[in-house]
Structure 1
């Protein structure tokens, strides 16, 4: 039996499992504000040297550490947050597929960041 729709805080009726247009717009605006303050990828250390190391690491470790799918992302196990030594420490790297990196790993980081504050 399908679950009933819910009423958004803006008053619109929204299907179960869906997000209201106002919530989507709010999330996009919040992300734009965050990205405007964030340093560029190059400023965060993702240079051509990183691209070379990333390519070599993925060649040596082709499978996702979480699900076993082909890995496409080199993830920092402990977020480096600008620490160059941690950024380049290969023991802090793990191969992940994009879905695991974008979904599971990011959820873990958000949870640990909230707890760590």
Structure 2
């Protein structure tokens, strides 16, 4: 069963157009954006902690939609709405932030970076 099978738009991720667009994006941004911000150059072979990814099924990179497209084809195909993430950042951090409604990421001063964080309201 495909990991996209519950998503009615899953067929978009299996198109030749998406495969080409994904490859082009990964050519421009070949490491996880959030790992890079933390000083880790993760090409998909590492965990979010910077350790070797032991699970071979999680050794890849995700082209993530920064703003969830939720069926909006303009957002789906907008390369300005894409970022490269490792599976840990995509499946754990990004999903948690989307459900919560804000990111808990902190700056060097320890203060939340996301303007939607309750501390910044």
Give the TM-score normalised by structure 2. Answer: 0.57
Aligned to 1:41: 10
Alignment partner of 1:50 is 2:28? no
Q: Distance in 2 between matches of 1:93 and 1:66?
A: 13
- The one-character-per-residue Cα deviations of 1:9-33 (angstroms, maximum 9, x if unpaired) are xxxxxxxxxxxxxxxxxxxxxxxxx
The CA RMSD over aligned residues, in Å, is 2.3
Shift of 1:38: 3.7
Aligned to 1:105: 94
Q: Distance in 2 between matches of 1:36 and 1:60?
A: 28
Aligned to 1:9: none
Q: Which has the higher helix share?
A: 1
RCO comparison, higher one (Cα < 8 Å, 6+)? 2
Aligned to 2:62: 73
Shift of 1:40: 5.3
Q: Distance in 2 between matches of 1:63 and 1:37?
A: 28
Taking structure 1 as reference, are residues 46 and 112 closer, same or farther at Cα in structure 2, changes over 3 Å only?
Answer: farther
Taking structure 1 as reference, are residues 37 and 103 closer, same or farther at Cα in structure 2, changes over 3 Å only?
Answer: closer
- Bigger radius of gyration: 1
Contact between 2:9 and 2:71, CA under 8 Å: does it hold in 1?
A: no
User: Is there any run of 5+ residues in structure 1 with no aligned partner, and where?
Assistant: 1-34
Q: Distance in 1 between matches of 2:84 and 2:6?
A: 28
Q: Distance in 1 between matches of 2:5 and 2:13?
A: 18
User: Is there any run of 5+ residues in structure 2 with no aligned partner, and where?
Assistant: 37-41, 45-60, 103-121
Aligned to 1:55, the other structure's residue is in SS state helix
